[in-house]
Amino acid sequence: MKWDLYDPVTRREIEGNRGIYDNYNPELGCVEVNDPSKMVRMSPGEIYRDLTELKHLKINKLSLEGVKRYKNNISTVITDSENEDFLVVACNSELVLFDFDKTTLMPNTRPVLRFDTRPASTSTSDRLVSTWPQFPHTINFLKFNDNFTGRPVLGACVDDGSLLIWYTETIINFIKRFNLTKRSHVQDGGDLYQDNNRFFGLKINPDFKVKMESSLWGLDFLSYKDSMGSTHNLIAASDNSQMVTFIYYDTSSEEYYHVKTHQVLHNIPEVSFISHEIKNNTHEVKISCASISAELIIFRFRFQIIEGPLNINEANHFTRKATYYIDPAMAQLEPSELELLDRLDRERFYRVFFVTPPVISRTLLEEDCWTAKPIHSKFFHEVQSLSAVFGDPTINETDEIEHIYNESVLLDLVFDPVKTSHLGIAAGWQFFESRITSLAEPSQLHEAISEPAKLTGVDDEYRRVNKGLSRVYKRLEHRKEETSMNSELYSLREKYDLQAKMFLAVSTTRKLGLFQADTLFCNAATKRVFDLPIPHDESKFTNRISITHIIPELSSFIAVTQQGLVTIMRLCCHRGVYGMRQEHLFPNAISLALGHNGFRSIAGICIRDRSPSQELPRFLLYITYTDGLVIGFELTKRREDELIKVTF
C-alpha cells in the first residue's frame, strides 16, 4: 500500500484522525466583526495540517472611480521582459495601469498610465450588438496570456463585439518611453491627486483586432508547436450570439481563419481550451463552454493546415488588416469595396480547412453555469483520507474504502496492490459532497442544510459511468493480464492506466463542482457557497459566482461572488478519488459592503506569481472593488517545519 512513501506523521494521521484536527472548535463558522480581511474567526482550512497559508497584506484605495458592475473579471496583472508587474483594471472603456510598491507588494495609489480603447466614432452596429446601447464600448473581460505568437499579450472583450489584443510590451514600452512610473508614487500624503498620467485622446492601437457579431464576454488563448517546430496560435471567444468562435492566426501569412459552433440555448460567459493533439496531420482541440442556460458543453474542433504559395493580392488585402470581421457584412465598406472583397474571397487560397465542430459531451446542471476552468489531475494535492479530500469528518472511511474497492473488483478493473494503493477504476466514479461553511441566517439554516449538493441527476450519472466504462473496456480488449508478486492477475497497469487526466472546476450561480473533462461526470460539488445576507438591495443582483481562478502550483480553486466574498477550495485526491475541500473564506463582506459612493462590489481578482522556486510556491492575490479599493493577500504552502510541529 506504499506505506514506505509516507512520513511518520502522515502514517499516524491515516491510522488515527485522518488528517483532520479540532473539527468542533466553536470559532469555526463564527463571523468576524473586527477584521475586514476575514469573514470567519477561524478559517475552514485550520482543521488541516497541510492547508494553504493565507496572509493579509494591506488595503489600498486606488485613484479609480466608476468601475462598472455585473461584468466578468476586469482586473489582471501583466508582466514585462524585466519581470516587472503592472495591475490593469478596466474602467468603462479605459484601461488603467498601476505599478507595485516593492516594499508593501501593493499597487501604488496613482496610475502609471490611463488610456481609452473606444473608437473615434460609434457605429449603428456597435449599438445594436451591445448590451448597453447608450455607451457600447465598455470592457466586459480582461485576459492575460503569457504566450500568443511567442509573446505575452493582454486581451480585452468589449461590449460592442470588439476583441482587442495588445502585446504587453506595446503598452509597457509606452510607459517606459515617457518615464511614467516616476509619477505614480505619492510624495506627500496630503497632496490632492492630479491625473497627470492620463493623456486625453491617447490611443494605443491594439496589435490584433477582431470584430465579433455580438457583445463579447469569453476569451482564451492557446499556442503550441507541432513535430516540425511550427507554432500554431488559437483564440476561442464567446459572444452573445450564443456561439463559440474558434480563430486560427497564421503567423507566416499574417491571416485569420475562423469557424463557429452551432447556437446553444443561451449566452456563454466563459470558454476555455482543455486539450490539443495532432493525429495524421489533423489538429484536434477541445474547448469547454459554460452557458447560463445551465449547460456545460465540450466542443471538438478539427482542422488541417494546407501549405501553399502566397498570392500578392491576398497579401495586400488579407494580411494583418486593421480589423478582422467575423461577419464581413458588419464592415462599413463602399459597394465597390464589397465587390472586390467578394471576388478576392472566392479566389482566396484557404490555408486552414475546418471540420464543422460537434458537441462531444454536454450536461444540464441544476443552476446557470458561469465558469469552467480546466486543471490536470497531476496538480491535485494528495491527502491522508477521504475525509481530508472533502472536508467531511463524518465520512465512514472504512466502509467507503471497502465499498469503492469492491466495486472495482466486481468490474474486474483493479490495480496490482503490490505496486499501488489506488482503489481501482471505481474510484473515478464516486460523488461526494464537499463540506462548506454556511453563513445563512438562522431562519434559512434548515433550507441551506437540506438543499442537495448534486448538480446533476442520477440518470445523468449512470449514463456517464456507462460511457466511461465502455471506453475502458474497449482499451483493454487486446491487453493481456499481468501476474503480480502475490500470484493474482490484474487487468489495469499503473504505467498505462494512471496517466494524468483533465478535470473542470466549475462554478454555477451559487455552487461549485468538479467534473471529469472527458465524460463530464461530477466527482464533487458543494451546497450554496455564499449565503451571507447583506442588508443592501443591490447586493442580491451581484450574488453569483461569475469569477474563478486556478493556481495549479497550490492546487487552489478560487471562486468569487461579486457581492464581496471569496473562497479558496483545495483540489485534493486520495487513492484515486478526486475532490475538493474549502480552506479559506474571506474578506469581511459585511464591513466592506458600503463605500463613500454607496454599495461596492468586487470588480475582479488577479494573481502575481512571486515564487522563489517551484518547491516554494508563493502567490499574491489582489481583490479589486468597483470604487477602487484593493485588498492584497499572500498565498503559500504551509512550511515543512510547521507541518512537523503538529502535536498528537
pLDDT of res. 192: 40
Q: How far is CA 385 from CA 183, 289, 378, 580, in A?
A: 54, 32, 18, 12
The model's confidence at residue 648, banded by pLDDT at 50, 70 and 90, is very low
- DSSP character for 189? T
Q: Which amino acid is at 537?
A: D
Q: Give residue 6's pLDDT.
A: 58
Predicted confidence (pLDDT) per residue in 196-206, tens digit: 555 556 789 99
Run of H or E residues at 409: helix 397-410
Q: What pLDDT was estimated at residue 551?
A: 98
The pLDDT value given to residue 422:
87
Judged by average pLDDT, the poorest of 211-220, 487-496, 602-611 is 487-496
C-alpha 62 chain-centroid distance: 25
- Looking at per-residue pLDDT, the higher value among 105 and 485 belongs to 105
Residue 489 in this model has a pLDDT that exceeds 80: no
Cα 509–510–511 angle (5° rounding)? 110
- Is residue 504 pLDDT above 80, yes or no? yes
Q: What is the pLDDT of residue 9?
A: 59
Mean pLDDT of 156-161: 97
Instruction: Say whether pLDDT at 136 is over 50.
Output: yes
Instruction: Tell me: pLDDT of 345 over 60.
Output: yes
- Higher pLDDT residue, 370 or 641? 370
Does residue 387 carry a pLDDT above 80? yes
φ and ψ at residue 300, rounded to 5 degrees: -115, 125
pLDDT of residue 612: 92
The C-alpha atoms of residue 344 and residue 509 are separated, in whole angstroms, by 47
Q: Grid coordinates representing 33?
A: 466583526
Kindly report the average pLDDT of the chain as a whole number: 86
HEC states along 198-218?
Answer: ECCCCCCCCCEEEECCCCEEE
- Higher-confidence residue: 327 or 71? 71
Helix then strand then coil, in percent of the chain rounded to 5, is 20, 35, 45
* pLDDT exceeds cutoff 60 at 254: yes
Among 33-47, 172-186, 549-563, where is mean pLDDT lowest? 172-186
Task: Assess whether pLDDT exceeds 70 at residue 265.
Answer: yes
The dihedral through the CA atoms of 376, 381, 385, 390 has a sign that is negative
pLDDT band at 334 (very low <50, low <70, confident <90, very high): very low
Residue 242: left (phi > 0), alpha (psi -120 to 50), or beta? left
Mean pLDDT along residues 152-157 = 97
pLDDT tens for each residue of 571-609 = 999 999 999 999 999 998 887 877 777 788 999 999 999
> What's the DSSP call for residue 546?
-
- 111 has pLDDT over 80: yes
pLDDT exceeds cutoff 50 at 193 = no
Average pLDDT over residues 621-641: 89
Tell me how far apart the alpha carbons of residues 349 and 233 are, in angstroms, rounded to a whole number: 19
How far are the Cα atoms of 36, 105, 500, 513, 610 from residue 623, in angstroms, in the given order?
Answer: 13, 13, 32, 23, 17
Q: Which residue has the higher pLDDT, 13 or 268?
A: 268
The pLDDT confidence band at residue 273, using thresholds 50, 70 and 90, is: very high
Question: Comparing C-alpha atoms, which of 246, 243, 174, 169 is closest to residue 210?
Answer: 246
Given this model, what pLDDT does residue 496 score? 53
SS3 of 631-644: the string is EEEEEEECCHHHHH
- 385 touches 392 (CB < 8 A): no
Q: Give the whole-number percent of the chain exceeding pLDDT 90.
A: 59
Q: pTM score, two decimals?
A: 0.91
Confidence at 29, pLDDT banded by 50, 70, 90 = confident
| Buried residues in 376-403 as b, exposed as e (16+ CB within 10 A) | ebebbbebbbbbbbbbbbebebeebbee
Query: 10 Å Cβ neighbour count for 446?
Result: 10
Q: For 319-333, what is each residue's pLDDT tens digit?
A: 556 789 888 777 765
Residue 420 has pLDDT above 50, yes or no: yes
- DSSP, collapsed to helix, strand or coil, labels residue 355 as strand
